[in-house]
């Protein structure tokens, strides 16, 4: 029985990871179409990315939007998270589930609803609409990180600061913030990645000149069979891998998804 379990485990892991392996492998091909195993070895499909303005601008769009979405998510999420953790408000569970409720609605439905809602407000197809939509999907994660970070927080430390004469701002800056900084940092990185990876909500929010990298890949995959999709995808995998390593070091990746 044990042998059977291990065999299926290995098959399952291969099933899970093989698309990534194939993509990275195919990006090194010398052929004019993606092949796996790659024909020969070359970096030409990486060099050629630099000549393709649409990929470059999509990459910078992605970084810019994800950074702003993460910043505002963490800002709003931290302020709300601090209030929720510190004061034992009546209906606290209700407020937390209201603030994290965007997690329960599929991105497709949310994106469609926001497009319909934004159009009369003239926010559709504008960067600001895009960022608002991404903050909606990222902010629940930011709150969760802050609440987890504050779960064991010792409020006597804040009181000690007050007693010693610090004003509330100083107390926050010198005591509270340094203690929850890792939680805020992880929340920001997670929010960045959620925004950076998103396709479905973005699809409804972009105009042609503000496509993000995953969107550019999505459209290219639908109309051409080009090894550059493989090389750009590999770069996305590399970026994600860097984030994954940092997460694993400071947080433990299993905890991100409720495991242990």
Partner 1 sequence: MENLGYSPDQKMSPNLKLASKSKVKELRKYTAALLLLAPLLLFILAFFVVPMLYVFYLSFIEVEGLDISNASYSIGNYLTFFSDSYFLRSLWMTMKVSIYAVIIALILGYPIALTMAKSSAKVRGYLTLLVASPLLISVVVRNFGWYLLLVPNGVVDQFLMKLGIIDSPLKLLFSVEGVVIGLANSFLPFMVLSIATSLYNIDPSLEKASSILGASPLKTFLTVTLPLSLPGVVAGIVLVFSMSMSSYVTPALMGGANVPVLPIVIYEQINTLFRWTFGSAISYILLGVTLISVTIFSRIFERKFKEVFR
User: Which of 31, 43, 83, 122 is the binder for partner 1 (CB under 8 A)?
Assistant: 83
- Please give the C-alpha separations between residue 216 and each of 89, 93, 98, 208, 258, in angstroms, as whole numbers: 45, 40, 33, 10, 31
Residues within window 25-54 making contact with partner 1, judged by CB under 8 A: 26, 34, 36
Q: 218-227: which pairs have CB atoms within 8 A and are 24 or more residues apart?
A: 225/33, 225/34, 226/33, 226/34, 227/26, 227/27, 227/29, 227/31, 227/32, 227/33, 227/34, 227/45
CB 219 within 8 A of CB 203: no
User: Which of 20, 63, 162, 179 is the binder for partner 1 (CB under 8 A)?
Assistant: 20
What is the enclosing helix (H) or strand (E) of 171?
A: helix 168-171
Asked whether position 250 contacts partner 1 by CB under 8 A, the answer is no
Asked whether position 107 contacts partner 1 by CB under 8 A, the answer is yes
Asked whether position 122 contacts partner 1 by CB under 8 A, the answer is no
Q: Which stretch binds partner 1 (CB under 8 A): 48-56, 96-104, 150-158, 172-180?
A: 96-104
Asked whether position 244 contacts partner 1 by CB under 8 A, the answer is yes
Residues within window 157-186 making contact with partner 1, judged by CB under 8 A: none
# residues near partner 1 by CB under 8 A? 88
Asked whether position 84 contacts partner 1 by CB under 8 A, the answer is yes
């Amino acid at each position: 029985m044990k042998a059977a379990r291990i065999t299926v485990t290995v098959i399952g892991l291969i099933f899970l990871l093989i698309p990534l392996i194939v993509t990275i492998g195919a990006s090194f091909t010398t052929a004019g179409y993606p092949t796996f195993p790659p024909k020969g070895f070359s970096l030409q499909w990486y060099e050629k990315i630099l000549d393709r303005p649409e990929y470059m601008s999509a990459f910078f769009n992605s970084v810019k939007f994800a950074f702003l979405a993460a910043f505002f998510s963490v800002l709003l999420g931290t302020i709300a998270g601090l209030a929720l953790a510190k004061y034992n408000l009546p209906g606290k569970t209700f407020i937390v589930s209201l603030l994290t409720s965007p997690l329960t609605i599929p991105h497709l439905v949310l994106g469609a609803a926001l497009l319909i809602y934004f159009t009369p407000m003239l926010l559709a197809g504008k960067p600001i609409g895009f960022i608002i939509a991404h903050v909606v999907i990222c902010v629940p994660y930011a709150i969760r990180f802050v609440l987890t970070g504050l779960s064991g927080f010792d409020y006597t430390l804040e009181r000690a600061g007050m007693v010693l004469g610090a004003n509330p701002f100083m107390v926050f800056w010198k005591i509270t913030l340094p203690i929850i900084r890792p939680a805020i940092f992880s929340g920001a990185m997670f929010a960045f990645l959620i925004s950076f990876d998103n396709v479905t909500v973005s699809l409804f929010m972009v105009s042609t000149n503000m496509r993000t990298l995953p969107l550019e890949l999505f459209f290219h995959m639908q109309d051409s069979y080009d090894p550059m999709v493989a090389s750009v995808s590999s770069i996305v995998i590399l970026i994600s891998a860097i984030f994954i390593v940092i997460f694993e070091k400071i947080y433990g990746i299993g905890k991100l998804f409720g495991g242990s």
